[in-house]
Chains A and B, each alone.
Chain A
């Protein structure tokens, strides 16, 4: 029973590829010249973005060490993770406000990826260091070791495998990134995802697109499996007071990415307000409702899948799969849903919900759920030895303890889904959400009107997140 449930979960996650394999009428293998340059270009972009994110993330990590009180730590962590928690459309609009004309292209994509991921790197490094070598850092400090000696002789040799895993995580995020390069990449196909999108849209070569997607997934899968350990930045750790790692004068830098985004939005919204009433002919109310419904359904589906995962955990094979399967290609997932029969508004909503869930579920699993489940491994073993059934383990041991974490992850999925425009644009044009409306406005050079819609979009996203987090207390009983 459990093994069937496990297999069903894996098959569900692989659903886009299965749909494609079944639906493509004819196959022809493209020549290397057709796909190799795009692949190399995408790998170059992702490597450069990941490396820059790691370097800037390390600087942010050092800056964050200057904030030592628990309250300050909470705020700095929130500021660092803000770009990562918001939908990419926010980041894109935040950046577009800063420069006119905006320098679209590879540089813009890398800057956006660094802004998006550097904070995540900083928080991950912080948790890694405190969880794995907090005591060692204290010892080196007491013994009189310099900061340089600590990094060079103790931390780097000890953590380099984890840093490699972190690099892979950021690399994979940048390689599979879709919405940012789609808007900011200009004419250059800077990621494989955009190449896949263009191959389907312009050439209608579904087989070639699937080959790209398979190459991309295989590449990431091999990288993930070849690295020694999975990386999970979601773990909460007990922090130690390590002021010797901070550098005086750098502390304020932790707020830089959030500052760039927030000020970008403020500039954009204030410019929009100066232009006057631009929303009169826009179906704002319908778009708000559509975004709310979409976010809610994605959040609920995530919650169901997390519970499903709790029911089939632990299993080494599944865990290995989830640590290697970072996320399916968003484009492939989107077009796979398009290949399914189109049966009206509700079916389209369901297809969109499944597509968005399949994209964010593996990532959220890795970040927020897997390590939390792992921490209960011993308890699960004890419960099983005492004779508890698997459903009893899932609903009496795992759920009561992990409900807040699972609800937060589902809330985040809902927030992301409410801000999606790239996948929604592929799957259906019937479900007109706020981000789709904004994307249309950007496409018709009405950037100010799009900026103005950020406010309702932000409200929708935050309401959804608050709804899931707030519901925690009711669902745990």
Chain B
């Protein structure tokens, strides 16, 4: 288990108050709650996108919160995906590989494997701006995991997909995460996501965790 302490922050009219939280170091943990409950705030503070004085996150014996953001070696898929639209799908994925300083040959091998696993072979050369919703979502996932992150964050990753694509995308995500064994925090308000993906569920309401992590 990784241990988070001091995930506490006051904003205008909202406070996030999670003094302590244990997250499994394997499988998919879901942070589940309605809109405005503090899911995204917690996720942004954990990643380090917003300052959170007093936060510690002990993962495999290392305090990740004490490290600069790039050195935490995290992977992320935002709700808006944030692909670089002027680069091709392949270049988007390889950007993350070169950012993690993977040797060229290793990066190309991993790109090939991920393209196969996520069925991206036919769209690697296409600009990100012309990809379909499902393709863009898979490219964002491949970009997030190619650098072998310590931990993966998925922020409402399926919200922009229609029902059928969601089912397909969930299956692919499950397959890739199981294969690469990357511990994952899934932020979602969709109960279907929980049923399909979550190994454990944590409920958040009004900025506080309300259910024990092991209750699923």
A residues contacting B by CB (< 8 A) are 68, 135-136, 138-146, 149, 153-154, 157-158, 240-241, 244
From A135, A140, A158, B99 is in contact (CB under 8 Å) with: A140
* Beta-carbon contact of A158 and B86 below 8 Å: yes
Return A309 CB to nearest CB of chain B, in Å: 32
Size category of the B interface is: 20 to 34
B100 at the interface (CB under 8 A from A): yes
Within the assembled complex, what's the spacing in Å between the Cα atoms of A45 and B48? 45
Known A-B contacts A141-B69, A141-B70, A241-B50; A136 and B84 likewise in contact (beta carbons under 8 Å): yes
* Beta-carbon contact of B76 and A144 below 8 Å: no
Known A-B contacts A145-B70, A158-B84; A138 and B49 likewise in contact (beta carbons under 8 Å): yes
**A-side contacts of B98, CB under 8 Å:** 149
Return B78 CB to nearest CB of chain A, in Å: 6
Within the assembled complex, what's the spacing in Å between the Cα atoms of A142 and B73? 7
* Beta-carbon contact of A144 and B70 below 8 Å: yes
* Beta-carbon contact of B70 and A244 below 8 Å: yes
Return A262 CB to nearest CB of chain B, in Å: 31
* Beta-carbon contact of A144 and B73 below 8 Å: yes
Q: Which residue of B lies closest to A240 (CB)?
A: B49
* Beta-carbon contact of A142 and B95 below 8 Å: no
Within the assembled complex, what's the spacing in Å between the Cα atoms of A244 and B47? 14
* Beta-carbon contact of B80 and A144 below 8 Å: no
Interface centre among A142, A145, A146, A154 (most CB of B within 10 A): A142
Q: Which residue of A lies closest to B85 (CB)?
A: A158
**A-side contacts of B194, CB under 8 Å:** none
**A-side contacts of B76, CB under 8 Å:** 139, 142-143
**A-side contacts of B143, CB under 8 Å:** 143
15 additional contacts (CB under 8 A) given A139-B82, A144-B71:
A135-B82, A138-B82, A139-B76, A140-B99, A141-B70, A142-B76, A143-B147, A144-B99, A145-B99, A149-B98, A154-B84, A154-B95, A157-B86, A158-B85, A241-B50
Mask for B127-164, Cβ within 8 A of A = 1, else 0? Answer: 00000000000000001100100000000000000000
B19 at the interface (CB under 8 A from A): no
Within the assembled complex, what's the spacing in Å between the Cα atoms of A68 and B51? 10
Q: Which residue of A lies closest to B77 (CB)?
A: A139
* Beta-carbon contact of B86 and A142 below 8 Å: no
Which residues B31-64 have CB closer than 8 A to chain A?
47-51
B173 at the interface (CB under 8 A from A): no
Within the assembled complex, what's the spacing in Å between the Cα atoms of A139 and B93? 12
Interface centre among A68, A141, A240 (most CB of B within 10 A): A141
Return B71 CB to nearest CB of chain A, in Å: 8
Within the assembled complex, what's the spacing in Å between the Cα atoms of A136 and B99? 14
Q: Which residue of A lies closest to B78 (CB)?
A: A135
* Beta-carbon contact of B51 and A241 below 8 Å: yes
Return B106 CB to nearest CB of chain A, in Å: 15
Q: Which residue of B lies closest to A155 (CB)?
A: B84
